[in-house]
Amino acid sequence: MSHLIPGFEERPQQREMALLVHHALAQKQHLLVEAGTGVGKSLAYLLPVSYWCLTTGKRAIVSTYTVNLQQQLVNKDIPLVAQMLRAGADNPGTLNYALFKGRGHYLCLRKWNRVYEDTLSRLQLMQADEDDKALEMLSQVIHDGTWDGDRDRLPFHVSNRLWGELCSESMRCMSGKCPFRESCFYQRHRRYLDTSHLIVVNHALFAANLRIYDDTSGRSSILPGYEAVVFDEAHHLEAVFRDSMTFNVGHNHLRRLSDDTLRFISREPLSKLVDRQRAQLQSALAQVLALMDMALAALSPDLLYNEAAHKGNAALYPGRDKYRLEQPGSIDGRIPESLRNLSEVIADWSDLDLSDEDRFEVNALARRYMEMAQLLDNLNALEGDGESYVYWSEMEGRGRHKYVTLNGAPLEVGPYLAENLWTAVPTAVLTSATLSTGGSFDYIRRQLEIEAEEAVIDSPFDYYNQACLCIPKDKRGNQPNSPAYDDYVAEMVLDIVDLAQGRTFVLFTSKKSLEAVSDKIRDRIEEKGYPVYVQGDMPRQTLLKEFKGSGNAVLMGLDSFWEGVDIPGEALSCVVLAKLPFPVPEDPVMEARETLWRAQGLNPFTHYSLPIATLKLKQGFGRLIRSKTDRGAVVILDTRILARPYGVSILKSLPPARLTHDLSDIARAIAPAD
């Protein structure tokens, strides 16, 4: 490594982690390893895993949560490891690796040909719009053979609406019967995986693969076989696996299905073959859409909360966007019945004189109606598929584009993972900068039901001399749910920004507080000469670029800025955490899980809320010190961390920075070292 990396510094912590991963692979064990910021954990697991792949001939998966880390692994870290292995005295061979994404990232050539043919005929009659221009540019890159089918690698923008018509979808894939199978972009990428030692994916794709493998009893999968998996950013695993088992259905889902149906029967040969049924079909679709809209309107969270409040069963919560559904029969039974009838009508078209491709489309459409009917039946009965589920209605979108969706999710994912993953793969390595709380892995082990070796590897950074943790002793900070708390935060941020000369992240746990505080002080901060960037003003990456470029800016953000942000140097010298990041207790999934835990004799706060807040706080703290030369201050304005008994546990989990209660220490902490 010292020969290949300019300015390389040996880190004992990195060596320790690499040996732990090597041992886990050799002994076919699972490993939980928390590696603090600066350890260099990517190389620490990539080197032993790559060497293991080459010397055993076995395959490994590396799964991440963020796209940024995927790009870092594929474009920087894995090529470096491959070079290291080739340069070593014991050269085990050439490492083959691949980045693989979900189907939705790849263009489907069969769908492309249909959409493009329709567009060409339409362009003869009218002027091209933006989507039509994008189609022309797509036609060029496809014809030139210069593009691999991945949307992310296009040199121009394609709208989500158009891409939805073009992308590969499992339900609409003809597989071996597709006339474009040999040239299929998705299958071409998929075939390359068979020659790869190391495959990089994201957690969502890995979870989808596991779900398909389980649902088909091992007959089908997205990924080829593997005998080891590394989960980086593993603190996200529970949420991602739950999302993979969550369903949602609403007006937009049914509208798209209706539009796909009408678009399909407008083309030859269906347009002639079902001409007599067209009016009847359109009427049936309009009727079921109207019924769905009526049912969803009746399940609007605002309406349900107001009804509950008037009955004395709930407080009045204006603007709440989720409501837990606990009574069976909340959906008009005519809706799933109509969907099944439509499915049967469409399925009958397969007996017509159709090509294999059109017959496949007919059967796929019929299946989609039947599956939507089944989802609504499950929701109506409040049943899951053998799991304990929670159901809720949710208001999504904004302004005139608000709409209600119906959702269902499992309460626990641990039993599913214990049965389908941990017993199936010989070695799983779970790593992150934030896996333990108070030095214990009890929380992550409980949630994922994993038995594993454990290790906490401290950061090589000198936090005591590089950073201070400031918690002002202000009584206003002990009431974070009071109406005056935003005023307190605003006043404190103004003082902190002066002391830090800008160069500050202010991180919030709610959009309402972010907007309230930014509205109060944005102009006043900018008058001091410090640019202010607020989440929502522009895309996340643009915000970060502007913040870095300014050198003295203030950025106010929500969840996505608590982690995955790497800004070394003086541009970020202070991180303000406005409130302890406890999960929202009114969330339907959280509410249902609390009920379950109490029935099991567990305290929901200590079992879940406190570990979640601790891990999140560690992530927020981790934005500050990104190199051995960084200096700065973290300020926690929520003084419950000093006043409540649980504060001791949280403080024990944070990096060992100097603790102070005096804001003036911020300026001294940021000042360059002598």
The string of DSSP letters for 483-509 reads TTHHHHHHHHHHHHHHHHTS-EEEE-S
Residues 6+ apart with CB under 8 A from 208: 102, 222, 244
Paired strand residues for 198: 60, 97
- pLDDT for residue 564 is more than 90: no
Give the residue among 104, 63, 76, 91 at the shortest CA–CA distance from 226. 63
Tokens encoding 34? 């928390």
Q: How confident is the model at residue 343 (pLDDT cuts 50, 70, 90)?
A: very high
For residues 626-639, give the mean pLDDT.
93
What is the structure's pLDDT at 383?
64
Question: β-pairing, 198-202 with 60-64?
Answer: parallel
Is 463-670 in the same CATH topology as 12-96+196-243+413-457? yes
Distances (CA, A) of 189 to 10, 94, 163, 246: 37, 19, 19, 27
Three-class SS of residue 672? coil
CA separation, residue 168 to residues 116, 134, 177, 310 (Å): 15, 18, 15, 48
Q: Burial-class residue 402 by CB neighbours within 10 Å (0-12, 13-18, 19+).
A: exposed
Kind and range of the H or E element at 448? helix 442-448
Cα 63 from Cα 311, distance rounded (Å): 48
Task: Return the closest-CA partner of residue 455 out of 77, 30, 62.
Answer: 30
Find out whether the peptide bond into 269 is cis, omega within 30 degrees of 0: yes
DSSP-derived secondary structure for 400-442: GG-EEEEEEEES--HHHHIIIIITTSSEEEEEES---BTTB-H
Cβ atoms of 2 and 8 within 8 Å: the answer is: yes
pLDDT at position 285: 94
Residue type, 271: S
The pLDDT tens digits of the residues spanning 216-244 come to: 888 889 999 999 999 999 999 999 999 99
Going from N- to C-terminal start, the domains of the chain cover 12-96+196-243+413-457, 103-182, 247-410, 463-670
Do 141 and 205 meet the contact criterion of CB atoms below 8 Å apart? Answer: no
How do 322-325 and 228-231 pair as beta strands? unpaired
Residues 327 and 449: their CA atoms lie apart, in Å, by 30
Of the candidates 177, 157, 155, 158, the one whose C-alpha atom is nearest the C-alpha of residue 110 is: 177
Mean pLDDT, residues 651-662: 95
User: Beta strand pairing status for 403-410 and 198-202?
Assistant: unpaired
The three-point CA angle 98-103-109 to 5° equals 105
- In three-state secondary structure terms, 391 is strand
How far apart CA 670 and CA 574 sit, in angstroms, is 8
213's tokens: 């493998």
Element (H, E) at 324: strand 322-325
Domain 12-96+196-243+413-457 has CATH 3.40.50.300: yes
- Give the CATH H-level superfamily of domain 463-670: P-loop containing nucleotide triphosphate hydrolases (3.40.50.300)
In terms of DSSP bridges, do strands 467-470 and 632-636 run parallel, antiparallel, or are they unpaired? parallel
Cβ pair 508, 576 in contact under 8 A = no
Q: Taking the chain, what is the end-to-end CA distance rounded to the nearest angstrom?
A: 31
d(CA 633, CA 350): 67
Residue 125 pLDDT grade (very low, low, confident, very high; cuts 50, 70, 90) = very low
**CA 623 to centroid of chain Cα atoms:** 19
Q: Both tokens of residue 607? A: 């079992």
Please report which confidence band the pLDDT of residue 9 belongs to, taking 50, 70 and 90 as the band edges. confident
pLDDT at 385: 45
Residue 625's closest CA among 567, 561, 667, 576? 567
Amino acid type, 158: V
The average pLDDT across 545-560 equals 94
Residue listed under structure tokens 């119906």: 406
Token digits of residue 333: 């039974």
Higher per-residue confidence, 113 vs 585: 113
Gap between the Cα atoms of 434 and 617, Å rounded = 9
pLDDT for 386: 41
pLDDT digits (tens, 9 = 90+) for 47-98: 999 999 999 999 999 999 988 899 999 999 999 999 999 887 778 889 999 9
pLDDT score at 367: 95
**Order of strands across the sheet with 198-202?**
97-99, 198-202, 60-64, 228-231, 427-432, 31-35, 453-457
Collapsing DSSP states into helix, strand and coil, what is residue 28? coil
pLDDT band at 136 (very low <50, low <70, confident <90, very high): confident
Residue 197 has pLDDT above 80, yes or no: yes
| Among candidate residues 23, 75, 70, the one with its CA nearest the CA of residue 51 | 23
Among 70-74, 118-122, 478-482, which stretch is predicted with the lowest mean pLDDT? 118-122
Residue showing tokens 């009114």: 586
Q: Count CB neighbours of 96 within 10 A.
A: 17
What number of other Cβ atoms are within 10 A of residue 26's Cβ? 12
Look up residue 486 and give its two tokens.
């935003």
